[in-house]
Structures are given as structure tokens and as C-alpha cells.
Amino acid sequence: MHTTTLRVGFVPGVEPDSFLRRWKSGRRAAWLELVPVPLSRQAAALAEGEVDMCFVRLPLPPATAAGELHMVPLWEERAAVVVGDEDLLSLHEDLAEEDLEGHTEIPPVHEDDAADRIAVAATGAGYTRVPLSLARLHHRKDAVALPLRDGEPTRIGLVWPRAADDEIRQEFVGVVRGRTARSSR
């Protein structure tokens, strides 16, 4: 019987379902609860105890006490450009920075506005840059997401407070890294 719950946060664009399935496939000492966390709250959700661990988009804000957190870098996300489906840029397979010259960029207003920017780009007002995972998350029929060949990738990491490290968290890290009950660290 499970008496403990491990709350794992995840920012938009991260799909933690495979980790949940792996967790459930073994005999674990804790339930796993997945908690969606807005990008703007990824550090605060940990600091305020809303989640025990969190899949975050790196880098974390400078105000975050990095020395107080364990961090496992995981995967890179490709950069993408989203344009309306009638924009000439939508005819490309992928784009480079030079392809964007002379076109209007829709810049971020705040950290959680990817869906809004993609909606504006879909109207044909310009293009916006987002990680490819966010472009897929906020997919629209009237917009096209194109990989940005020379765009700076973003990175996803798993973080948790050093002071709260325990066997359950380490077991989850093992699940995320692909370890099975039969493999060793």
C-alpha cells in the first residue's frame, strides 16, 4: 500500500506519460502524481513545495539558488518558427535565420504566452519562435511550425531540492534515465 505521493511537475511541451508508465510498471514505494506547471512558475513551484521534483526548461531564472538544487540535464528541444499557413515562409521544409530577414517577428510578452503568439502568427501577422515541443503542443490547422536550422536549442532538465533528496526521488531519476528494477546505478 502506498502512503507517499511523489509530485512531479512538468512545464508545457514536456510529455511525462512514458515516465508515468515506467513508474507504474514497477513496485514502487510511492504514488506518482504529475502536476502541470506554467513556465513562469517552474522555480517557484519547487521553492514553495507545490511539487517535489520538476521537469523544467533550462536555464532556470538567475534568482534560483542553483546550488540548492539537484539537476539532471535530459534532452534538447529544437528551435522552431511558427507562421500562418498562407505565409510564404510556410512553403519551406525548414528555415534559417537569413530566411526571416524582412519578416515581422512576434516577440514574447511573458513566459507563458506561446499559445497566444502562435494564434497571432496564424493570422498572418508575422512569425514567432518557440521550442518545437511548444509548437506541437499548441498546433493549429491555420499555422505551420518549421524547424529553425540555426536556432538555439533549449534544454529540459529534472530538478529537485538537495535538502529533500531521498530514495524515492533517486528511484524516479533512475526511471527517467531508463534504468529498470534489474539494472544498477
- Domain borders along the chain are 4-76+155-176, 79-147
d(CA 23, CA 139): 29
Report DSSP state, residue 121: H
d(CA 141, CA 158): 32
pLDDT, tens only, 39-79 = 999 999 999 999 999 999 998 876 666 578 999 999 999 99
Superfamily, domain 4-76+155-176? Periplasmic binding protein-like II (3.40.190.10)
In this structure, how many other beta carbons lie within 10 angstroms of the beta carbon of residue 66? 13
pLDDT at position 21, please? 92
In degrees and rounded to multiples of 5, residue 130 shows phi and psi of -150, 160
CA 125 to chain centre: 26
pLDDT at position 34, please? 97
- Exposed, middle or buried by CB within 10 Å (0-12, 13-18, 19+), for 110? exposed
Ranking 2-11, 109-118, 153-162 by mean pLDDT, the lowest is 2-11
pLDDT at position 8, please? 97
CA neighbor of 135 nearest in space, from 83, 88, 89, 82: 82
**Average pLDDT for 139-144:** 96
